[in-house]
Every structure is written in structure tokens, then in C-alpha cells.
Amino acid sequence: MPTLTAYIEKDPETGLYVAIVPGIPGAHTQAVTLDELQENLKEVLELCLEEMEPENKQQLPQFVGIQQVEVSV
């Protein structure tokens, strides 16, 4: 059973939590609470992996890290 890393942010316009798993097409969802987001994300990932070709499952993205970048505007 793979462990995948999701990127989560809070949309300032809607107030919803939004999650995406980079490298897996269609692996994104949103919810009002983080608990609901976790459930939704698990369901979406199961569906995405179910539809994925076996050779692509062998090449799932590997989490490396997060980097913050300061830019002047």
C-alpha cells in the first residue's frame, strides 16, 4: 500500500481546504474540514490508482521536501 504526499492549502475566497497530489492526474479534492478532506482525498486516490496502468503505479511520485521561496514583488 503506497503512502502518498498531498499538498494542502486553504482557499481564501471559499474558505475550503484544497488538496492535490502532484504527479497523479485527477488526484485533487476540497472540503470544509481537514477530516473531511482526508476522507475525500483517500477516496479520490483509491479511484485514481484503480484506473492507473500497472506500469505507472511503479512510478508514483516520491516526496522529497518542501521549500519556501521569498520573492520581492
Phi/psi at 9 (5° precision): -140, 165
Q: Which domain holds residue 32?
A: 1-73
9 pLDDT tier (thresholds 50, 70, 90): very high
Residue 57 is predicted with a pLDDT of 82
One DSSP character per residue, 2-71 reads: -----EEEE-TTT--EEEE-TTSTT-EEEESSHHHHHHHHHHHHHHHHHHS-HHHHTT------------
Q: Strand 28-31 to strand 17-20: parallel, antiparallel, or no bridges (unpaired)?
A: antiparallel
Q: What is the CATH number of the domain that holds 39?
A: 3.30.160.250
The residue among 73 and 32 whose pLDDT is bigger is 32
- Mean pLDDT, the chain, as a whole number? 93
pLDDT(19) > 80: yes
32 pLDDT tier (thresholds 50, 70, 90): very high
Number of domains within the chain: 1
Percent of the chain with pLDDT over 70: 99
